[in-house]
A = this chain, B = another copy of it.
Amino acid sequence: MHNVKKVTDLIGDDGKQYIKEHITELHPADIADIIETLDEEKKKELFNLLHTEIASKVIVEVNEHSRDQILEDINKEKLTDIVEEMSSDDAADLIADLPKEEAKDILEKLHWEDSTEVQKLLKYPEDTAGGIMQTELLSVREEMLVEDAIIQLMALSENIGDVPIVKHEMPISGIIDRNVISVNVNEDQEEVANIFKKYDLISLAVVDDDSRLVGRIQIDDIVDVLVEEASEDMLHMAGIYQDEKIMDPPLKSVRMRLPWLVINLATATLAASVVGLFQDTLQAMVILAMFMPIVAGMGGNAGTQALTVTIRGIALGELSFNNAKRAVLNGITIGVLNGVVTGVIMALIAYYWKGNYMLGIVLGLAMMVNLFIANFFGIIIPLVLKWLKIDPAVASSIFLTALTDCIGFFSFLGLATLFIKYLV
């Protein structure tokens, strides 16, 4: 924070020269942090002070909001220079976010090879292996000496990364690893991340449908995918359909959150109509209205627990159709046990509070039924959605909440109606 304060004070007055000289000492990610704290004008001003090479790194690190502001009216020649400095994947991501006309313009201004690479990458959907790979590759013949391969590698780029320590006079064929793990270019990025995780990889080859090498994916891009996917599931389960960030403008947040709330209004109205079936029972014994939301709410809570564990299991590759039977059987056991324990506790609370043992029994039984349903369908629903190729994190909780609300009200008020003469 000390640096941020200093830089913020300096910009806009005589300090510009000082910044220009000293900002290179900071890591691009730190410069990005500083930029994010500035207002729109100062953001542009500071960014324009950066050398092209640093600018190309900083623009990748700043958040979307700041990036849009910076790129809004940037000089096209400067932007072209910045894109030239980028790796193909970062360049493609940046160009994909530009307005169509501007993107076309930049692509025309780029060197022919860069432009071709980027245009190839732009064809792959963002969330596939193709969407996160880079096309910078070096292929060599088996007979080539390791030494010569290294020279070629260094000629290609100074930032190509690290090479294993080996005897340099050996031909490539001596160090070749023929068991290379690869992914298809159309593979979903979540699946790619799972492969990195499983095999502890640092980079991964990407191949097309004919098994030809088309690119490679680096671990630092996968780190972002892992965080993104985990956040995404969490957001989806909470009924937020896009990758909402805490600092997004409120109108954007409203647009993301409203659809779910409106869908829930509909399912809540459905549940309300279940309650409507039992108006006579409620009229005869109005304290049932006090306990009614407890049964539905506890079903919702137990269902969310089951859903969360199931959805994480699917996302991490721990649950598939092969081992689903065991998960479902476990879910049934969990539902029965948690249902019995909470049902008994709630029965006792109701009995001691209202002095009505029959109310306790009805409440306890309804709770057992609903917790069983919640745990059973908390596993079944995501599996069925997965089977239908619908993202379970997005749609599961709508169905499950509707179910636990309706079953909760129906079992409690239904049992109360059956036993009404012992209740009042």
Within 8 A of B (CB), among A302-341: 302, 304-305, 307-310, 312-313, 316, 318-319, 322-323, 326-327, 330-331, 333-334, 337-338, 341
Chain B residue nearest to A229 in the complex (CB): B230
Q: What residues of B have a CB within 8 angstroms of the CB of A326 in the complex?
A: 247
Residues of B within 8 A of A179 (CB): 25, 27
0/1 interface trace, chain A 253-286, chain B, CB 8 Å (1 if under)? 1100110111011001101110110010011001
The answer to whether the Cβ of A165 comes within 8 Å of any Cβ in the partner chain is yes
Question: Number of A residues contacting the other chain (C-beta, 8 Å)?
Answer: 111
Q: Which of A227, A287, A349 is packed against the most chain B CB atoms within 10 Å?
A: A227
Q: Given A298-B261, A312-B235, do A197 and B219 touch, yes or no (CB 8 Å)? A: no
Q: Does A345 contact B (CB under 8 A)?
A: yes
Q: A197-B227, A223-B197 are in contact. Are A294 and B279 (CB under 8 A)?
A: no
Whether A175 sits at the interface, judged by CB under 8 Å, is: no
Listed residue (A27, A289, A322) with the most chain B CB atoms within 10 angstroms of its CB: A289
For A329, give the chain B residue with the smallest CB separation: B250
A238–B322 touching, CB < 8 Å? no
A131-160 to B contact mask, C-beta < 8 Å, 1/0: 000000000000000000010011000001
**B245:A272 contact, CB within 8 angstroms:** no
> Given the complex, which residues of B lie within 8 Å of A27, measured CB to CB?
179, 181, 199
Q: With the chains together, A293 CA to B267 CA distance in Å?
A: 12
Q: Say whether, besides A154-B165, A253-B334, A265 and B349 are in contact (CB < 8 Å).
A: yes
Is A162 engaged at the interface, CB distance under 8 Å to the other chain?
Answer: yes
Q: In the complex, how many angstroms separate the beta carbon of A168 from the nearest chain B beta carbon?
A: 9
CA distance A298 to B297 in the complex (A): 12
How often does this chain occur in the complex, in copies? 2
Q: Do A29 and B289 have beta carbons less than 8 Å apart?
A: no
In the bound complex, what is the Cα–Cα distance between A245 and B314 (angstroms)? 11
Enumerate chain B residues within 8 angstroms of A226, measured Cβ to Cβ. 223, 226-227, 230
Could you say which of A29, A265, A298, A333 has the most chain B C-beta atoms within 10 Å of its C-beta?
A265
Shortest beta-carbon distance, A257 to chain B, in Å?
Answer: 5
A405 within 8 A of B: yes
Contacts of A150 in B (CB 8 A): 165
A45 CB to closest chain B CB (Å) equals 21
Is the pair B164, A265 in contact by a Cβ cutoff of 8 Å?
no
Find chain B residues with CB under 8 A from A296 CB.
Answer: 293
Task: Assess whether A312 is in contact with B231, with CB atoms less than 8 Å apart.
Answer: yes
A163 to B163, CA, bound (A): 6
Chain B positions within 8 Å of A238 at CB level = 304-305, 307-309
Q: Are B312 and A294 in contact (CB under 8 A)?
A: no
Q: Which residues of B contact A253 (CB under 8 A)?
A: 309, 330, 334
Task: Return the chain B residue nearest A234 by Cβ.
Answer: B234
Give the distance in Å from the alpha carbon of A254 to the alpha carbon of B300 in the complex.
Answer: 16
For the complex, what is the distance from the CA of A253 to the CA of B269, rounded to whole Å?
Answer: 33
Neighbouring B residues of A176 by C-beta, 8 Å: none
A89 within 8 A of B: no
A227 x B316 contact (CB < 8 A): yes
Asked whether, in the complex, the Cβ of A219 is within 8 Å of the Cβ of B231, the reply is: no
Indicate if A246 sits at the interface (CB-CB under 8 A): yes
Residue with the highest number of chain B CB atoms closer than 10 Å, among A37, A163, A301: A301
Nearest CB on B from A252, distance (A): 10
Taking CB atoms, residues of chain B closer than 8 Å to A63 are 318
Chain B residues with CB below 8 A from A130, complex form: none
Q: List 28 A-B contacts (CB under 8 A).
A: A25-B179, A160-B165, A162-B165, A196-B223, A226-B226, A227-B230, A234-B234, A235-B312, A238-B307, A238-B308, A239-B305, A240-B305, A246-B312, A246-B319, A248-B330, A261-B341, A262-B342, A262-B345, A265-B345, A268-B298, A273-B290, A275-B293, A276-B287, A282-B282, A286-B286, A292-B293, A293-B296, A300-B300
Which 10 A-B residue pairings sit nearest by Cβ, starting from the closest? A246-B313, A230-B230, A162-B162, A238-B308, A250-B333, A200-B220, A289-B289, A268-B294, A272-B290, A250-B330
